[in-house]
Chain A
């Protein structure tokens, strides 16, 4: 019984010390930031109160200690404030620089040489065996390159409808190459075609789906593109029933680029979600604030 009583007392003392420490540091923080003017007022009030009680010693101690702490800690605090101001300015500069970089990265041609050479090889061979098909794939390739190369990117590329159209050019090329191994499904309602949507994001997601999900799979599969509005959020999904995502595979520059651009364009209001549904495959979803008219685009 005695031992437990001692333990109890020790616990109590420890708690009390903890609590006292907490209050002391709170007082310390307050002192560091409080204005001198206010500190003078508290000194005056304390002097007055204790003076009336005829015991001025605690008031004098209070004034002495708070003066000393203020002198010592106040300088450090001021330095911290100045430093924070400086980093804030630096952050703005960094953000501007990163915006520039992200724009540059987005503008950079993202045509994979492998894709380009394979498509050209296909066209070369179709010219001999199936000239009309060659002309069709050739036209799709031009559309695709136009959307991808920055110098040629059309100015009205910023709507979902335009992005869907350009993605279809890419998918047509891939279908000409993969034949029945690639099936495509678009579920984008007509009224969403005029909704603003940043360029090259949909294509990147579709390319990822094919490259990592369907191309390595022997029987191939389906790419499904779906757009819908949930509350005030435009949600664009690209799903495939391919091989899924290897947790050790690098996510590549494509997704990082999308994430960065969404952050710069919409801040915390937009996001890129990647999920693997229970049935297999992978789903990438872009969510961003839905605006009806193109001219209100940021």
Chain B
């Protein structure tokens, strides 16, 4: 890690970056910082995540205060690009998953609106840590002092990087553990159908069934039907298999929409749907779906 080579030379003022998409929040943090740490120089302020990374890489501040939810790039993603040069302090008003993770990972965070006491405590910790690094650098030539390092528990940068990667995954999955997280893109939830000039978005919750119809696929909802170009095979691959079942070579039906299954006089299994007058045939190959328990 080239961390130490980019550190501020001794005597130079400590620099900071503030990133928050809400201007009033930046104002408050700036005012509070000036009160509790007058020597701190705020070199840049960013209104979104992309700007935060740009300005952070340009100014290489000692400390970066990052809001978690920002347009463009989240604070955690921005932190993954900046943590090598800067001490990261997250700020959030409410993020149940992130807060737990911060506590466990000993990452610095502030709760908005930032109170003076809390900020003072955080700043004291940051100051100690920066001083510690400075000392380490100064004494590096003379002798290594692992004891001083332990006095102020500083996570190694590699460690922070791994934690941030975990956090990114955690936030993407809204707190679900990574084990049952879906593939990155998830299942198809919206069917796009061209209607006139615009694209109608039909939620899969509205769809009763899909039926292949020559080179198109018919999408039936309770109120209307659309033709889309996607083939049944493609739909089968992209849709949630628990949401839609294939009951016939040419039919995919929404499980929730099934009202009942009956055998007609000829012994075929027929599906009756809620909010739909017609019936759908279940082919023999798929009749195992509706075996009695």
- A binding-site residues for B, Cβ under 8 Å: 25, 28-29, 32, 73, 76, 80, 83, 87, 91, 113-114, 116-118, 120-122, 124-126, 128-130, 176-179, 181, 215-218, 220, 245-251, 255-256, 259, 263, 268, 271, 273-278, 282-283
Contact = CB atoms under 8 A, between A and B. Distances in A.
A268 B223 contact: yes
A178 B70 CA distance: 11
Contacts of A274: 190, 200-203
Given A73-B265, A130-B24, A274-B202, 10 more contacts: A28-B265, A118-B22, A118-B94, A121-B113, A128-B31, A216-B72, A247-B201, A248-B187, A249-B190, A282-B201
A179 B202 CA distance: 33
A125 B25 contact: yes
A80 B198 CA distance: 45
A275 B93 contact: no
Contacts, number: 128
A157 to B, nearest CB: 26
B128 interface: no
A250 B71 contact: no
A37 B195 CA distance: 54
Given A29-B265, A275-B195, A251 B200 contact: no
Contacts of A120: 93, 113
Interface in B49-102: 50, 69, 71-72, 93-96
B201 A275 contact: yes
Contacts of A73: 265
Of the listed residues A32, A117, A263, A283, the one surrounded by the most CB atoms of chain B closer than 10 A to its CB is: A117
Contact of B25 (A122, A130, A255, A256): A122
Given A76-B265, A247-B189, A125 B113 contact: yes
B118 interface: no
11 contacts: A117-B94, A121-B113, A125-B27, A125-B28, A130-B24, A218-B72, A247-B192, A248-B189, A251-B203, A274-B202, A277-B197
A73 B264 CA distance: 11
A215 B200 CA distance: 23
The 7 closest A-B pairs by CB, nearest first: A117-B94, A124-B113, A125-B28, A117-B93, A121-B112, A274-B201, A247-B190
Contacts of B266: 25
Given A121-B112, A251-B203, A217 B22 contact: no
Contact of A178 (B21, B95, B206): B21
B129 to A, nearest CB: 26
Nearest to B91: A121
A250 B189 contact: yes
Nearest to A249: B189
B150 interface: no
A283 B190 contact: no
A28 B223 CA distance: 34
A29 B266 CA distance: 10
A178 to B, nearest CB: 7
Nearest to B96: A113
A176 B94 CA distance: 18
Interface in B174-203: 185-192, 195, 197-203
A142 B15 CA distance: 40
B119 to A, nearest CB: 13
Nearest to A129: B27
Contacts of A215: 69, 71
Interface in B15-41: 21-25, 27-28, 31
Contacts of B197: 277-278
B143 interface: no
A247 B95 CA distance: 26
Given A122-B22, A248-B185, A271-B223, A218 B203 contact: no
A39 B28 CA distance: 90
A249 B25 CA distance: 30
A282 B190 CA distance: 13
A276 B93 contact: no
Contacts of B202: 274
B55 to A, nearest CB: 14
B138 interface: no
B25 A283 contact: no
Contacts of B23: 179
A296 B77 CA distance: 53
Interface string B203-224: 1111000000000000000110
